[in-house]
Amino acid sequence: MTTSATNLVNMTANEIVGLLKKREVTPAELLDALRERISEVDNKVNALPTLCWERAYKDADKMSNLSLDERGILAGLPVAIKDLNPVSGVRSTWGSPIYRDFVPRRSDCLVENLEKEGGIVYAKTNTPEFGAGANTFNEVFGATLNPWDTTKSCAGSSGGSAVALATGQAWLASGSDLGGSLRNPASFCSVVGFRPSPGRVAYGAAGAGAYPSGLYSIPGQPFSVAGPMARTVADVALFLDALVGTHPADPISLPKTEKSYLEAVNNPRKPRKVAFSPDLGVTPVDREVADICRKAAEVFEDLGCIVEEAHPDFSDVQDIFQTWRAISFYVSKKELLDNQKDLLKPEVVWNIEKASEITVDDFARIELARGRYLARANEFFQDYDLLLCPATVVPPYPVEQRFVESLGDHKFSNYVEWLTIAYAITLTGHPALSIPAGFTESGLPVGLQMVGGPRGEENLLMAAELYEKASTIKFGVPIDPISS
């Protein structure tokens, strides 16, 4: 190997792909570097509980025998996959003791598309049970710890992915997002988490054998999406290029765009008019977090953009989101509640049972409200190119705390309400990302949420790239885990 393992894990994904395309490093050598790094640090953070080296080295050998034109966008770059996405032949648990020994015969849509573009799967990243709750712990593998302070939560549900990136155990890692599961852990770990528009990344069971009995994928639903996580905006764009494209198993999956996202990021244009909101008008926010994000938003003023304090009307977000979330849990997991309730964590049980209170009239009401909600958001983005706000309402909190129960005088009504600032954007269907905004006085990361207009991935990534280059914030990753 011409480059040391330490140097390799510190490089960006784009730099590594450049080496692969010049044949200055092999996919197997990259796996060797990751294997060394994982052995050094993962016992301190528990980000990658499932490793599949035999499968990965086999794929690496196949990749090395292909011509460069046949290798795809990633050209043999190893990628970590969240444990909500089944990978054929690899233990896939959804963080649940019910499926602690399940090995799928087929992969998720995302994995199949990724492997066609030269991604090599070597690990599954830890997640809370069924992705429920923004603190990454489960009864199968335990908790994943925040590398900036290993007494703190890394958030979730893509917490293992964020921590693997932050500690140099991954160049790219997949995530998924309903209530902020790509954005929350990115904020807590000083990396970039990108939530694309529904359909932009094909997602869900690709066929028989991908999902176990009793657990169901809901094709074509408009809220839960899969997306890329990385350490830089350009790496997210590279990963998104490899993930996008149609898949027959996902009826709303979109074709690749004519222009690559990496090409757009390499030639960015600035937004004209930017809105900033400290709270979107719907949630309390920690004062230090709000101040850090307000200062980060000033970068766009320095770039010559108009920046104003504004946000759409999100006042009915709780009624819409909480009702839809309960329905989705009921559809996909009711069979588990009936047959194996004792193995489900209490938050999941609560979410499934909540649907029993919902009537047809309730469903009609929130569907009409959702239509008005979308119209207001779309009208807002006719005036503004970008909306900025905190990605999370608090800095990383103690890992033993299952979720944030209160903030100031406000007591959150359930285990997901503290995520309102993220899922208020989920309901719009607009792409969003979390990018590092700075650090608290105690040295904990804070993320800035950036939201684009309808199907606005390209413009959002270009704005994020300009911010990343102009900001004085140093992301500071990868790092060795820090014990407080």
Catalytic residue ranges? 82, 157, 181
Residues 138, 60 contacting (CB under 8 angstroms): no
CA distance 191 to 182: 10
Which backbone phi and psi does 271 adopt, to 5 degrees? -70, 155
Q: What is the DSSP string of 102-160?
A: ---SS-BHHHHHHHHTT-EEEEEE--SGGG-SSS-EETTTEEPBPTT-TTBB--SSSHH
Question: How many Cβ atoms are within 10 Å of 357's Cβ, its own excluded?
Answer: 9
Q: Which long-range contacts (CB under 8 A, 24 or more apart) does 219-223 make?
A: 219/249, 219/250, 219/251, 219/252, 220/250, 220/251, 220/252, 221/328, 222/198, 222/252, 222/429, 223/178, 223/198, 223/324, 223/328, 223/426, 223/427
Residues 126, 53 contacting (CB under 8 angstroms): no
CA distance 50 to 100: 11
CA distance 230 to 194: 9
Residues 320, 369 contacting (CB under 8 angstroms): yes
